[in-house]
Amino acid sequence: MGRVKLLREDGLRHDGRKPDELRPIRMQVGVLNKASGSALVEYGATKVLAAVHGPREIPQKHLLLPNRAILRCRYHMLTFSTHERKSPAPSRREIELSKVIREALEPVVMAEVFPRTAIDIFIEVINADGGTRTASVTAASLALADAGIPMRDLVVGVAVGKVDGVLVLDIDEVEDMYGEADMPVAVAPSLGLVTLLQLNGVLTREEFDEALKLALKGAQVIYNIARETLKSRYLGVKVEE
């Protein structure tokens, strides 16, 4: 197979986006009745569903902490979410990403409010087209907020890649597979806090600085959408006196 060209002659990406352009972003909260909180997030064709249960007591008392809640996260890709049928058993990548997403959320969750309890986050990737970990962070953050879990800020994620020597925002599966670098970032914008930063591939110091600026710019747009999604759900809720 020959080299895949990711940038067109006119400077646009293979899907017609500009280098600094996000895919269409869609979000919805409160999509599951049985969960304490839930969210559905779409980055282009990537679709992620997150559900939160808790805070609640669990049978494994030895796992509980006396001064804070424990945060548990399970990231899972449905068998039909990729081109080839995926085994339903948890893969090493899913176990790793469960840990990565949990660690991206822990700095903002006010776990000290609920000692000796557990907060469980379940993430299901319904369709994968690049950026599943960053979309999952955003979905999980929204689901926590929907569940009423006190948080210092929302966390949103986006990935920057390098394709044909050019830095691009919010890479899809093709750009992830054939690009030269992939840098997922998660941010709590109002705190000015980066809670996740990974790099697969090689960037120069100058490229890294520019990639981070591009990620922060994209994250702010996603953050604004997330805030409006929450506001639109609860704007009409009346509080009884």
Task: Determine the average pLDDT of the residues in 90-94.
Answer: 85
Residue 43 in any domain: the answer is yes
In a domain, 116, yes or no: yes
Residue 135 lies in a domain: yes
Per the domain annotation, does 191 fall within a domain?
yes
- Hey, what amino acid is at 16? G
User: pLDDT tens-digit profile of 112-154?
Assistant: 999 999 999 999 999 999 999 999 999 999 999 999 999 999 9
pLDDT digits (tens, 9 = 90+) for 176-219: 999 999 999 999 999 999 999 999 999 999 999 999 999 999 99
Average pLDDT over residues 9-20: 95
Residue 83 lies in a domain: yes
Say how far apart CA 201 and CA 59 lie, in whole Å. Answer: 43
Q: What are phi and psi of 24, to 5 degrees?
A: -60, 130
Evaluate whether residue 165 is within a structural domain.
Answer: yes
Number of structural domains (the chain) is 1
Mean pLDDT of 18-44: 97
Domain enclosing residue 128, as ranges? 25-234
Say which CATH number the domain at 125 has: 3.30.230.70
Average pLDDT, the chain: 92
Q: Is residue 10 part of a domain?
A: no
pTM of the model: 0.92
29, 147 contact by CB (below 8 A):
no
The burial class, CB within 10 Å (0-12 / 13-18 / 19+), for 157 is buried
> Please, what is the angle between helix 132-146 and helix 92-105, to 10°?
50
Residue 18 maps to a domain: no
| pLDDT of 88 strictly over 80 | no
Instruction: Look at residue 241 in the predicted model and tell me its pLDDT.
Output: 46
CA dist 184 and 201 (Å) reads: 12
